Structure formats: structure tokens, C-alpha cells
Chain A
């Protein structure tokens, strides 16, 4: 016997009452300091609050797997291109060691995790960058994985959802990593020509070559609250332009005001919002 399938009633949530109750942390529980409000936040509170500060709403960084857990439907993610990894094509001093260390620290072999998933029952191709792997820097493997995922999406007629967090192109791979900007951009153009939607979610920080390529090429660009999003760092810009930058420069809110970002969605709502967007845009054309 298989599980029965029921339709879901479209009932609005009943109004009134509390929406949640506070956490009561253990004594001596390990805690993290919020980089924004400087308060100590017990781990259990972070855990229960999508890794956001319960006091000021600051979004702590998440690993790629944690994000997948938050955004994808349970057990719906199946990883693709898991064994793609960067080598050391230029013989850059210390790079091999750095790669090895990053792999140990992050538990990932590269700075992006790709796969097929469902978000609120909408099938899609999903890539999520990993901040603890060399700050999500884009090398040849990252570019290749994302390009292949987009090609996979075209083949399977799936929309693409991408979470970016990156310091930019990986300097240890020189021009080869800069070339990934063009390669991914070409793939995204093809995705657009195929009339498949591409949604990006920019998280703190999304900078450099990633901003200049696939992060900002989303048909719909979502950002996490207060995420830093930019190309060059503020100090470099000030030194080059010899002008003082306005307050909040390169924050998600600043970019939303100026039309670079379409939506700011807090982490807890992302799954719902992305699911709805995918549904509105026709979702997948096949079962994927």
C-alpha cells in the first residue's frame, strides 16, 4: 500500500494569539556573539531561529548543507557533480595545502554544492555556495559545477535556484577562475533563451567575480537582510574615486532601494517565497 494523496485545503491561518514562544537556554550552554548587536546568543536559540540573532535579526552565516536543509523539502535533495574538485593548475604557492585545509574545515570538496531538489514541492536545480571553503571563492571547479548544473536544468526543463556567498574569483587559479565568469554567464543566457527561470539569493557576503557574473544575473534577485553585496571593497572604491561612500553602501537594503535587488527575504520565509515564485513561473516543465 502506498501513501494516499490528499488535496491541501486553502485555508488562511487563523488570526490572533502568539506566533512562537521564547527559548529557555541551559546554563553554561555554548553561545556565539552576534557581530551586529554584540550580544551573546546561546546556540540553542540560534538553532531554533534559522541561525539568526533573536535580538536583532542578524543572519549568521550558514554552511551549504544547513541552507539546503532550510530551503529544500525534506529528503528531496540529490547531489550532482559531487566529485568535481579544483587542482592546482598554476602551481600557486601554498594553494594545495590551502585546498586540503578548506576541505577539512568545511567537509566539502569544493566551494559549491549542486543538485536537484524540491522547494515547497516545486522541482528545481539548486546550487548553494559554502562560506567555510575559502570564503566561497570561485575556481574552475565551482564554475564548472554551476555551468553543468544549468545545463542539467536545461536538459530536464527545471528552474534554477542559486544561493551565493563568495569573496569572488579564486586568485590562486588566476585567469582560469576569471574565465568562469564568462562561462557561467553564457550558460545562464542559454537558460534564459530556454525560458527557464533563474532565481538567485545573495547572502552575506556576495562580492567580486561572483557578483559580477551569476549572482546578479538572476531573473529574480533575492537578498538576505543586511547582506554585504558588491564588487570591489569599499576601501578600494574610496581610494579610486576619491569620494566618500554613503552610509549603508553595499548593504542589501541599499541595493534594494536602487533597484539592484528585487526582494529582501528573511531566512525563515525564503522557502515559502522561493516556492511561490517557482510556482508562479510555471515551475518545471517535466517532473525532473
Chain B
């Protein structure tokens, strides 16, 4: 096992990873920006190195400085957490060059999985259903022909798009011509490319994702699915596992297809496959080749420590359990706690009791700066039934107090108390009420 690991991240996830290291007897090395000199992850780590100014581009995204810190400290591995450099294959290559293990998939797999179109092809070949769509469209006429084949409604998307830009919804053929031109124009303005493609519009739909762990010996386990349909402006707010919309039969079939696909693409490490689910079919969207914010829901449900397994897999330890050993009984719900604006924590009370977990980097006196992600904590509960988990998350949210920092605890309480969420019959339109934004 690696005896020293550098954590190339900050905030709650850095704290989370350092905790795993401490349990495993691994020394931890923190890196921090000038804005984070007094942060909890710095205090918890065995060693720490300042790697630049507050701006992420000068610190947490500065690959050379992070590698230097790893070399100076003698760390044998780097855990990138999520965000920042976690999906950066150049950084992974730099790690390999200097003999530092990158805790994530191998570079070859990263390269394969970075190209979204190629991933879809690979997953389709491996037996997953992908959203019906086209390659690059040359003309409106071609678009019309393809739309007929796929069936309306469809989406026209810019090939280089992202963040919801360069996307147009087309409900009927009459709208197609205008939408085609608009998507092209927006693509050119935003990404400098006017190439577009078409995809079937799956609506209404839920966001279902499957957590997998795979080792380098071909063992793959699905650790259940997560329902992340409560999203506001593409930002996930509440996640739960298992999804109330997926039946046992559907789940078993989905997992067996996912495991086959993972084996076929030769992936290893922790990963998440994201699907759109329209009540009948799971349409593969993309694969996240890193730890995810909401991995904690799965941990609470299964009792499997995903971060520890990431480290073990990166060190070549085989999975010690098989798919049948993964216990998916009960229900787990997570609420993301976000800072609404910068501030300083004057008082903090964290809920407790059985099966209540609060992952945070806040302590009394923590200053929240505007430089980074607004996520300040994750409140997760587990109970033997969804009903009980709902009661527990509501009680726990009421007990969570963060004074001095404007936050979204009350909004979260509204969500988990709402009729729609409680019934389990919700989808991606939770906030928009069926109207596409």
C-alpha cells in the first residue's frame, strides 16, 4: 500500500479523503491556496504545502506545483478528488512521468473516455442503450430526414457544446429550420464551431446514475444506482439511493448490462455511468471517471467505503467482494448544503444520531471565500425504509445550524418535505414544473 498520498483538492472532499488515509494508516499531504491557509484539510493532513494564490488557476489547477509538492513530500500517489484536475489526462500523464500513482483510471482509459461521442459508441457496442442521435449534420434537409427517423421531439446540439448553450428543442418539423440555424449561430458565438448534431429529446426523464467499482483484474461491482433528478440549473441538490422509480427487475438488468460494458471498455477504478430514464428505458449519457460528490449516498446505503477502495484499486488490490455481496437494502438520502454568499461561520451545530452523516470542512470561524465551489457540506442519512429516511433527513436538516453563512438549509427542508419528493414521483422538471428553461 502507498504510505503517503497527496490530496490535490480542497474543501469537504479533501477532508473526506484525508479521513480515509488516516483510517488506512497512510500519511496525508495537503496542498492549499493562500485563501485556504487555515482550512480544515490543512489542519487534518500530516503535511501541507501552499501552492499559490487563491485563484484556482494559480493553485488547485496548477499541475506543476502539485507534482512538485508530491515529489518534495515523497508522496507515492495523488488523489485528485472531484473537479479541478480529476479528469485531466495531462495531469495524469505528468503523475506517471514522475512515478506518482494517479488515483483514477489509467491514462489510456481516460483518453478513450474523454471523447464523448466515442464513449457513446463504445457503450452502445458494449450493449447499453444510448440516446438515439446522429453524427454531425451538414444541412437542414439532412436534419429533417434524421428527425423523421428518430421521431420528434428532438434536440439540435452544438458539437462542442456544454453548459446548456448551443442547444435547441424541436417539437415539430415546422420548428426545425429555425432551430437548426439558431443552434449553429449560438455554437459559432460560444464555441467557435457551427457544427451541430441531433439527439432524441427524452422527456419527462429522471437522472439515474450507477456507481461502479472495478479493479485491474476484471472484477466489477455495481454499488447501486442514485437518483439525482432534483436539479436546479443542472446543479444537483438532493440525491437518493435506491431510486424510488426503478424496480428490482429493471435494476438487476441494468447492473448486468453496466458490468458487461465496464468489462468491455477495460475500465478500472471508481466510476459513474449517467443515464436518462423515461420510465421504460435507461439511455446512457456519459461516464464520470472520478469520485463524485454524491458518492456518500452510496456509501451510506452499501456500507462500502468508495474512497478507500479507490486507493486500494490504484495500489493493485483486488475487490474483496462480489456483486452478490453488495447489500442494497434500505434507503439513503443526501442534501447538498450550499453557501449562498461569502461569509464566516459564527456558530455551527451538526446533527447526530444513528446513520446521520455530515461531510463538511466547516468549523466555527471558517471563512467562505468567493473563489471556489459553493458546496460547504453534505448531509446524508440512512434508514431501513424510504419513509424512515425521509423523516430522518427532515429532522437532521432542522438540527443543522450554520450561523453567519447564508445557506440553503431551508430550501432543502422544503424539497424533502414536498409532496412530490416524498411520493418519489418526481423528475428533472421538479423546479421548472414541466417547462423547459
Contacts and interface: CB of A to CB of B under 8 A. Distances in A.
A4 B37 CA distance: 12
A3 B26 contact: no
Interface stretch (B238-246, B310-318, B372-380): B310-318
A259 interface: no
A240 interface: no
Contact of A20 (B26, B73, B99, B363): B99
9 contacts: A1-B366, A3-B38, A8-B46, A18-B101, A19-B2, A21-B99, A21-B100, A26-B97, A74-B49
A102 interface: no
Interface of A: 1-6, 8-9, 11-26, 44-45, 47-50, 69, 74, 268
Given A12-B25, A21-B101, A48-B71, A1 B365 contact: yes
Going nearest first, the 5 A-B pairs with the smallest beta carbon separation are: A17-B315, A23-B99, A13-B25, A11-B25, A1-B365
A18 B44 CA distance: 25
Given A8-B46, A24-B96, A48-B99, 5 more contacts: A1-B38, A8-B22, A14-B1, A17-B317, A24-B97
Contact of A23 (B1, B47, B97): B97
A19 B76 contact: yes
Given A20-B76, A23-B99, A5 B315 contact: no
Nearest to A47: B71
The majority secondary structure among interface residues of chain A is loop
A21 B96 contact: yes
Nearest to A9: B22
B174 interface: no
Interface string B93-111: 0001111110000000000
B74 interface: yes
Nearest to B308: A14
A18 B316 contact: yes
A102 B79 CA distance: 43
A89 B43 CA distance: 52
Given A3-B38, A4-B363, A48 B98 contact: yes
A11 B71 contact: no
B1 A13 contact: yes
Given A3-B38, A3-B42, A5-B43, A17 B1 contact: yes
Contacts of A9: 22-23
Nearest to B312: A17
A136 to B, nearest CB: 25
B252 interface: no
Interface string B1-31: 1110000000000000000001111100000
B97 A13 contact: no
B99 A69 contact: no
Interface in B411-437: none
A268 B74 CA distance: 9
Contacts of B101: 18, 20-21
Interface residues of B, number: 35
A217 B3 CA distance: 34
Interface of B: 1-3, 22-26, 38, 40, 42-44, 46-47, 49, 71-74, 76-77, 96-101, 312, 315-317, 363, 365-366
Contacts of A48: 71, 98-100
B25 A14 contact: yes
A47 B25 CA distance: 25
Contacts of A15: 1
B1 A21 contact: no
A22 B96 CA distance: 8
Given A47-B71, A74-B47, A13 B26 contact: yes
B281 to A, nearest CB: 39
A4 B48 CA distance: 14
B98 to A, nearest CB: 6
A9 B363 CA distance: 20
B412 to A, nearest CB: 27
B22 A13 contact: no
A65 to B, nearest CB: 13
B38 A2 contact: yes
Nearest to A49: B99
A13 B23 CA distance: 9
B427 to A, nearest CB: 42
B314 to A, nearest CB: 8
A131 B347 CA distance: 56
Contacts of B317: 16-17
Contacts of B97: 23-26, 44
Given A11-B25, A16-B1, A74-B49, A6 B43 contact: yes
Contact of A13 (B24, B72, B96, B100): B24
Contacts of B1: 13-19
A25 B96 CA distance: 9
A17 B24 CA distance: 13
Contacts of A17: 1-2, 312, 315-317
A6 B74 contact: no
Max count, chain A CB within 10 A of own CB: residue among B26, B47, B98, B316: B98
Contacts of B43: 3-6
A11 B99 contact: no
Contacts of B366: 1
Nearest to B317: A17
Contacts of B44: 6
A60 to B, nearest CB: 16
Nearest to A4: B43
B89 to A, nearest CB: 14
B315 A16 contact: yes
B217 to A, nearest CB: 12
A63 B71 CA distance: 17
A11 B316 contact: no
Contacts of B46: 8
B234 to A, nearest CB: 34
Contacts of B23: 9, 11
Contacts of A45: 99
A89 B199 CA distance: 87
Contacts of B47: 74
B48 to A, nearest CB: 8
Nearest to A3: B43
Given A24-B97, A45-B99, A74-B49, A19 B22 contact: no
Nearest to B40: A4
A1 B40 CA distance: 11
A18 B25 CA distance: 15
B50 to A, nearest CB: 10
A232 B412 CA distance: 79
A45 to B, nearest CB: 7
